[in-house]
């Protein structure tokens, strides 16, 4: 970005700034004082710490200016301070202004599972024809979304943005901020069910992505999900469905799942072979969502297929790695819920191996009062014939351990506390061989990525 401080002030409702401030140029926006660079606007946010406490760091880092809560003491004198009622709201208002100024097409994506993979696929498809900016990492909340917007360059033609949620009303705010031309819902699962209590309530909250949808926009959703079909009737904008059934407008046929890729055809042009560098039918569904977006942006199936073949996938989402002992590692440790675990386990059983298949499963967080039962029920997706060893991590996995005792011998079930990741890593490095396949799946809060780092090549 590149904006004069006077324009930023106007964008957040400040009508007058001192004359000597007006021509100052801002080239970036940052809330983390450790990442500030000269030319930055510092945004002090309240989290575990009050961001205002880090103003000295911002000054030392040569930040050009700062937002400052008007009621907050110790207003800095070393750099210009734009007084606002709420720095976070000011950040969001600035992002909305910036987005409207450059006016790219906006593709907004949400879902209980698959939204990041779908975002990456969509960006790859559209990026083969347009100048595209996409959400990095997990910048998908009230802070990350405006920062993603403000990271756009002036020549951005399409913004592919991921929208996350953990409470009602969150997607309503984000949708109105980004005002999507295309809104996508990948699926409805159990993520955050602790706060929503039912999948129906989750579906209601996910539908908030349509609240800011432009009048001439398009709503793309999973047509295999009855909860979405029912709610889509209340949306007046254009609609398109994707899925694995021929009732969907865009659907897949001839699906072949291989260890490191999945191939399929699409009904819109059955002569084209599609291939994605991921395994699992659930990833075909994600691809169909992205394909639907590409078709809406007047791209040919052949162009879309080429873009999907080797798209850039965000780290730790069904990522194949090589282990220190030569084993194949499937890292999927960014988030987890029962639907996602069952899907990745089922796909892993199709991976041929001369050695053992080993499942390393960590706690699934935010499942609420039924958490123990949901963990225990995963026993139906595990058997000694398919997974010879099972490693469990975290207090919630105790219920699964108990439920597996009737299926597995004691020596093949291994339990670790959340603070025993080093011990788990050492044990895996001691037993894994070049013929083995190991899948690691957990919610991000369990930090199984540390185990991945310890066992990968």
Per the structure block, which two tokens stand in for 293? Answer: 């977006």
Per the structure block, which two tokens stand in for 299? Answer: 């791209």
Tell whether residue 86 is among the known ligand binding residues. no
Q: Which residues pair with 381 in a beta bridge?
A: none
Tell whether residue 117 is among the known ligand binding residues. yes
**CA proximity to 266, closest of 278, 282, 281, 284:** 284
CA–CA gap between residue 23 and residue 35 (Å, rounded): 24
Q: Which residues pair with 50 in a beta bridge?
A: 46
Tell whether residue 198 is among the known ligand binding residues. no
Tell whether residue 116 is among the known ligand binding residues. yes
Q: Do the Cβ atoms of 455 and 324 come closer than 8 Å?
A: yes
Torsion angle of alpha carbons 305, 310, 314, 317, nearest 10°?
90
| φ, ψ at 451 (rounded to 5°) | -70, -45
Per the structure block, which two tokens stand in for 8? Answer: 């930023």
Tell whether residue 113 is among the known ligand binding residues. yes
Among the residues of 310-395, which ranges form H helices?
338-348, 371-376
Tell whether residue 33 is among the known ligand binding residues. no
Per the structure block, which two tokens stand in for 38? Answer: 């000269």
CA–CA gap between residue 213 and residue 198 (Å, rounded): 25
**27 to each of 61, 64, 150, how far by Cα in Å?**
14, 9, 10
Tell whether residue 186 is among the known ligand binding residues. no
The binding site for ATP comprises: 111-117
The binding site comprises: 111-117
């Amino acid at each position: 970005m590149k904006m004069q401080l006077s324009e930023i002030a106007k964008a957040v409702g400040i009508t007058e700034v001192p004359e000597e401030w007006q021509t100052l140029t801002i080239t970036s926006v940052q809330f983390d004082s450790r990442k500030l660079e000269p030319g930055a606007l510092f945004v002090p946010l309240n989290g575990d710490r009050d961001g205002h406490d880090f103003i000295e760091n911002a000054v030392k880092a040569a930040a050009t200016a700062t937002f400052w809560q008007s009621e907050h003491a110790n207003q800095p004198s070393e750099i210009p301070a734009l007084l606002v009622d709420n720095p976070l709201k000011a950040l969001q208002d600035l992002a909305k202004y910036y987005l409207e100024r450059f006016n790219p097409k906006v593709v907004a994506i949400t879902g209980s599972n698959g939204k990041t993979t779908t975002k990456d696929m969509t960006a790859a498809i559209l990026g083969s024809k347009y100048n595209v900016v996409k959400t990095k990492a997990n910048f998908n909340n009230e802070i990350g979304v405006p920062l993603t917007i403000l990271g756009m360059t002036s020549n951005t033609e399409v913004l592919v943005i991921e929208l996350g949620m953990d409470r009602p009303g969150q997607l309503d705010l984000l949708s109105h901020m980004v005002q999507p031309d295309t809104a996508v819902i990948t699926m409805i699962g159990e993520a955050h069910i602790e706060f929503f209590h039912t999948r129906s309530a989750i579906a209601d909250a996910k539908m908030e992505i349509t609240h800011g949808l432009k009048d001439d926009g398009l709503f793309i959703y999973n047509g295999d999900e009855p909860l979405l079909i029912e709610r889509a009737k209340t949306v007046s904008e254009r609609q398109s469905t994707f899925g694995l059934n021929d009732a969907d407008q865009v659907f897949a046929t001839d699906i072949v799942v291989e260890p490191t890729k999945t191939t399929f055809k699409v009904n819109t042009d059955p002569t084209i072979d599609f291939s994605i560098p991921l395994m699992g039918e659930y990833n075909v569904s994600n691809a169909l969502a992205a394909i639907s977006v590409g078709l809406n942006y007047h791209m040919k199936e052949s162009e879309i297929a080429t873009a999907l073949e080797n798209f850039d996938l965000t780290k730790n989402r069904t990522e194949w790695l090589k282990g220190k002992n030569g084993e194949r590692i499937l890292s999927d440790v960014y988030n987890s819920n029962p639907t996602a675990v069952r899907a990745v386990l089922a796909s892993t059983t199709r991976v041929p191996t001369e050695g053992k298949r080993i499942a390393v499963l960590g706690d699934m967080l935010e499942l609420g009062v039924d958490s123990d039962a949901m963990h225990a029920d995963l026993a139906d997706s595990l058997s000694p014939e398919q997974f010879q060893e099972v490693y469990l991590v975290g207090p919630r996995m105790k219920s699964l351990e108990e439920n597996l005792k009737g299926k597995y011998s004691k020596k093949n079930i291994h339990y670790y506390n959340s603070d025993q990741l080093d011990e788990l890593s050492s044990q895996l490095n001691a037993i894994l061989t070049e013929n083995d396949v190991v899948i690691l799946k957990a919610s991000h809060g369990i930090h199984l990525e540390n185990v991945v780092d310890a066992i990968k090549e």
